[in-house]
Amino acid sequence: MNYTVFSVWSFVSLANICTSKSPVFTTSYFYRLRAFNKTPETPLWSMASPAMRCLWLCLDLGDACFGWKYTESLRKCSVLTEVSDTEKPKNSEDVFLKPITCRNTNCLHGGECRNLPSPRLSSALAFLCRCRCGSCGVHCERLNFGRQKRRGIVENNIGRITAETPETCQTICLTTPACRSVDYARKDKRCYLNKVNHTEPRAKLEVFENIDYYYPVCMC
C-alpha cells in the first residue's frame, strides 16, 4: 500500500509542572500519512478517540516512540517503537509518524547520513544516506558490485581475509576506505582486497580458474 503526507500535526506538551523546576514546553511534530486509495473521513479530533489515546501514549514514551498507526474502520491504533515499523506500516489507513532523522537511524556499508529540512512526501524519513559506490538503498543496505568470472587483480592486494561468501567480501571492502575492488577465491573462501580497480592504468587483470573479480558500481 502506498502512502502520501496528508497533513502535519503539531502538539505542545508541558513538563516539570509538578516539580520545583521551571516548566518546559516541548513541541512534537507528527506527519499524517494516508493511503492513496483512501479518501479523508471524519477528523480525528475527539480527545477520547483511539487515535488520540495513542498520541498521549506516544508523547509519554518520548524518544522511544516513533509514531502510531490507525485503522479507522476498526477504530484501532498501535504505537510504533521501532524505526523499521515506520517504513512498512502495512495495511493501516492512517499512519502518524515523527520525522525520522540521522539521530534515529544509520547508513550501512560506510554511507554518510545527512538530515533533510523536511520529510519526503511519501514517508516521514527526514534524512538522506549518501552511499559509497558499491551500495544502494534508503540505508545503503543493498550491495551493488559488478562481476567478472575467472579474473583477478594482481600485485595490488592490500589485505587477505577469510570470507564465507562474495557478499561478505564486498561488505568488508565497503568498510575499508582504501579498498577499490576485491578478488574472491571460491574454493578457499578467501577475500583479497585491492587498492585499484580494472579501470586504472596500473591495474593488471589476469585469468584465474577459481577466482572471481568484483568491483563497486556507482549507478544504482
pLDDT tens by residue, 4-19 = 444 455 544 444 344 4
Using DSSP's 3-state secondary structure scheme, residue 7 falls into: strand
| Topology classification of domain 145-216 | Hepatocyte Growth Factor (3.50.4)
**pLDDT at res. 87:** 59
**Are the beta carbons of 153 and 204 closer than 8 angstroms?**
yes
The per-residue pLDDT for 42 is 47
List Cα–Cα distances, 107 to 9, 41, 91, 124, 168, in angstroms: 28, 37, 27, 16, 17
List every span in the chain annotated with CATH 3.50.4.10: 145-216
- Summarised one tens digit per residue, pLDDT across range 115-174 is 988 766 556 678 899 999 999 998 999 999 999 999 999 889 899 999 999 999 999 999
- Mean pLDDT (whole number) for 91-114: 81
For residue 164, the model assigns a pLDDT of 94
Assess contact for 68 and 90: CB atoms under 8 A: no
pLDDT of residue 193: 96
For the four alpha carbons of 57, 62, 64 and 69, in that order, the dihedral sign comes to positive
DSSP 19-31: SSSPPEEEEEEEE
The DSSP bridge pattern shows strands 190-194 and 135-136 to be unpaired
- Asked which of 54-58, 112-116, 205-209 is least confident by mean pLDDT, the reply is 54-58
Q: Which of 51-60, 158-167, 199-208 has the lowest mean pLDDT?
A: 51-60
Q: What's the pTM?
A: 0.68
**Rounded CA separation 147/1 (Å):** 35
Cα–Cα nearest to 59, from 89, 17, 98, 103: 98
Query: In this predicted structure, what is the pLDDT of residue 54?
Result: 77
pLDDT at 1: 41
Residues 210 and 117: their CA atoms lie apart, in Å, by 49
Distance, C-alpha 9 to centroid of its chain: 24
- Top-confidence residue, 207 or 78: 207
State the average pLDDT over residues 102-108: 85
pLDDT reported for residue 30: 66
What 3-state DSSP class applies to 207?
A: strand
- The percentage of residues in the chain with a pLDDT greater than 90, rounded to a whole number, is 39
What mean pLDDT is predicted for residues 93-107? 79
Question: DSSP readout, 168-194?
Answer: HHHHHHHTSTT--EEEEETTTTEEEEE
Contact 40, 51 (CB under 8 A): no
Output the average pLDDT for the chain: 78
Return the residue matching grid coordinates 572471481.
Answer: 212
